[in-house]
Chain A
Amino acid sequence: MTNAIEASGLTMRFGSTQALAGVDLAAREGTVLGVLGPNGAGKTTAVRILATLLRPDSGTARVAGFDVVRQPAQVRARIGLTGQYASVDEDLTGTQNLLLIGQLLGFSTRESRSRAVELLEWFDLTDSAGRTAKTYSGGMRRRLDLAASLVGRPSVIYLDEPTTGLDPAKREEMWDVVRRVVGEGATVLLTTQYLEEADALADEITVIDSGRVIAHDTPDGLKHHVGGQRLRVRPTDPARVDEVRALLLALTGVGSETSTRGEVTCRVDDDSLLPALVGRLQDDGIAVSELSLHLPSLDEVFLTLTGRGTDTDTTEEAA
């Protein structure tokens, strides 16, 4: 199977900032590559290079078989770009936004129109098609942006932080949309700050930090590496924190941490732990006001991978 996206040794410097310090990326055809990293890690710079908007200082990249520097026109004919800040034209209606792209791509007026209708319906925007994008909610704008990037039927799609700034409900809605797009057979490069998002959507995840790749793995591999899920328990009576910690130690065999708010957190690799814990809590008559399983946050991932958090001011490695 060939790679639809293949980049090696990409470097890019803006003034005194080394945005990329030798990044390799690869996405097989028809798969989703998640690029995970904090703000300022170089994700957007990498996407802009792969979308032919920037020329790398060094390194090479091929998209759909074409070199992004030497054959930009061929690359542009095969990609769809949705930016971090939804790049729809706010003064145009939903329909006009899509018509514009269709006509620029050389579709006839009729083709552009039917493509617009089709995409608006697909993205559940038909009812708002005649309103200016200015009046759209954040989620609607993202969907229109994504629709606009699909007008030309691209085989490679870049989604640069598609859910940043959306509330959790809208985020899941956007995930469904992304899954459907992937189901249509395109190769997708998705950048995100959330491990949860990369886990939900990507086939493989590349973690970058300060312009360098610090990990590349499948979501399962990565989760295994950073210690699977986190369990959080908060007993209603703070005095019983120690009892909870003892319970957890007995069940998991690993130590736990207690926050100042009386939350006990520990790593969990075994999916059967939660029901077991609930049973023991009930047996001991410990009431809890919070009990949750969640994936490690980006902070926790970075702590595990680099030994430090995502503080982007800590750039000693980038020099």
Chain B
Amino acid sequence: MTTTTLPAQRQLPLAAATGPTTTSSPWTQARVLARRSLIKTWRTPEALIDVTLQPVIFLALFTYVFGGAIAGGSQEDYLQFLLPGLLGQTIAMASVALGQNLNADIEKGVFDRFRSLPIARSAPLVGAVMADVVRYVILFVVMIAVGTVMGFDPASWTGVLGSLLLAVGFALCFGWISVYVGMLVRTPGAVQGIMFALIFPLAFGSNVFVSTETMPGWLQAFVHVNPISHLVGAVRGLMMGGPVAGDLVWTLVSMAGLLVVFMPLAVRAYRRRA
């Protein structure tokens, strides 16, 4: 591939027919793209409402409006039960924005550029998921901080730290459902619609708000296979003391399952999306 008619000297090394000189690892690519997402988040702080204001509203609403009725009087007792549960619900809901943002990005054409670059197909998706860690950590810290002001009193702060790792890890795996949906549907609004339709039964058909024993048998069966129940069970155990092992194992298993199923599906849907 030699060119004879070109000027021998170029003023600037702009376009050169020399072919590629460097390549980067998929890990580097994902990291670079994660940084891009973080810069965007930084520029639009209002996009953080779903991990700051929204969970606080849920916390206040369920503690002060429903808490007394649900827990038979003591709102402070209910808060100890509610907060670990609400963490599981809100962190799953926080993943909705991930699919919405990716869906919007694809329409804007920036992803055409990424697709035309010699980088891993999965890098833009993995990068976006990685950047979401920051949002999940913010959510967790805000919930614990506001909860503490309201009277939340965990039995073990080491357990709280362990819960942080577990909940963020779970969200990273659960988020691939959102990415997958984001690759399948046409509009960001549709991503939200589908994800809420999925998350609401998972969040309420669980041990998040009330004790499972009060539910009919068929619903208890659902609660027992619901991954959010196991996450909440493990987080409750870690924060408030109590059995952890069973729920922890099931949470880790469901995390692996979510990752193994939805990550390849999402990447495949992304490849196919023209």
Interface residues of A (CB under 8 A from B): 1-2, 29-30, 48, 51-54, 64-65, 73, 76-81, 83, 85-92, 96, 100-101, 103-107, 118-119, 122, 132, 148-150, 152-155, 157, 180-181, 183-186
Contact = CB atoms under 8 A, between A and B. Distances in A.
B117 A100 contact: no
B44 interface: yes
B15 A92 contact: no
A188 B11 CA distance: 19
A181 to B, nearest CB: 6
Given A105-B24, A105-B118, A152-B117, A92 B5 contact: no
A65 B7 CA distance: 22
A94 to B, nearest CB: 13
Given A30-B5, A185-B6, A185-B17, A132 B113 contact: no
A155 B17 CA distance: 4
A152 B123 CA distance: 18
Nearest to B10: A184
Most chain A CB inside 10 Å of its own CB: which residue of B13, B20, B40, B43: B20
A155 B19 contact: yes
Contact of B32 (A65, A73, A103, A184): A103
Given A30-B6, A78-B19, A104-B24, A153 B116 contact: no
B214 interface: no
Q: Interface SS of chain B: helix, strand, loop or mixed?
A: loop
A52 B116 contact: yes
A38 to B, nearest CB: 21
Most chain B CB inside 10 Å of its own CB: which residue of A79, A86, A103: A103
Interface residues on B, range: 35 or more
A88 B105 CA distance: 11
Contact of B116 (A65, A79, A106): A79
B20 A77 contact: yes
Contact of A104 (B39, B108, B117): B117
A103 B116 contact: no
Interface of B: 1, 3-7, 10-24, 28-29, 32-33, 36, 39-40, 43-44, 108-110, 112-119, 123, 274
B226 to A, nearest CB: 37
A78 B11 CA distance: 20
A148 B3 contact: no
A101 B117 contact: yes
B274 A83 contact: no
Given A118-B12, A153-B18, 4 more contacts: A77-B20, A85-B108, A185-B17, A186-B16
A108 to B, nearest CB: 9
22 contacts: A29-B1, A48-B112, A52-B115, A53-B274, A65-B1, A77-B19, A77-B118, A78-B19, A96-B36, A101-B113, A104-B33, A104-B117, A106-B23, A106-B28, A152-B117, A153-B13, A155-B15, A157-B15, A181-B15, A185-B6, A185-B17, A186-B15
Q: Which 9 A-B pairs have the closest CB atoms?
A: A106-B24, A186-B15, A87-B109, A77-B20, A106-B22, A155-B17, A184-B14, A77-B118, A185-B6
Contact of A96 (B7, B39, B112, B116): B39
B117 A105 contact: yes
Contact of A85 (B10, B39, B109): B109
Nearest to B13: A153
Nearest to B37: A91
